[in-house]
Copies of this chain bind each other. A is one copy, B any other.
Amino acid sequence: MANSKLYKGSLVTIILKLLNESDKMYGYEITQKVKALTKGELKITEGALYPALHKLEAEGLLEVEVKKVDNRLRKYYRLTEKGSKETVTKLQELQEYIMTMQVIVNPKLSLE
C-alpha cells in the first residue's frame, strides 16, 4: 500500500468496506476509488491488491463475475453473505484499534 507502515493489515478492511458500499467493483476501480477518496494519500499497489482479492474469493468472502468492456477484461467482485458478516467484524476491529491507539497516544483517555 503506501508510505506509513500503519496501513499494513488494513487492506482487507478497505476492500470489504468499499464493496459493501458499491455493490460490485473490479480491481483497478478499487485502486482509483481509494486514490480519489484519500486525495492521493493512499495508493493501493496491484501486487498487494490482486493476491488479496484472490484470497478473499478463495475464503468465500467474495464472488467474481468476469465481463468484457471495451475489449478489455474486468473481474467484478461482490460480497457474499459470509463477506458481509466479515465486513461488520472488520469494521468493529478498526474502531477498536482506533480507540486502543487513542488511549495509548492520549494519556488523558482511558478505556472502560
Which A residues lie at the B interface, using CB under 8 A? 3-10, 12-14, 17-18, 21, 34, 37-39, 41-42, 91, 93-94, 96-98, 100-101, 103-105, 107, 110-111
Contacts and interface: CB of A to CB of B under 8 A. Distances in A.
Contacts of A6: 9-10, 13, 93-94, 97
Contacts of A103: 37-38
> What is the count of identical protomers in the complex?
2
A105 B101 contact: no
Interface of A, secondary structure class, is helix
A13 B14 CA distance: 22
Nearest to A38: B100
B17 A100 contact: no
B42 A105 contact: no
Contacts of A10: 6, 101
A105 B17 contact: yes
A79 to B, nearest CB: 15
Contact of A94 (B12, B96, B105, B110): B105
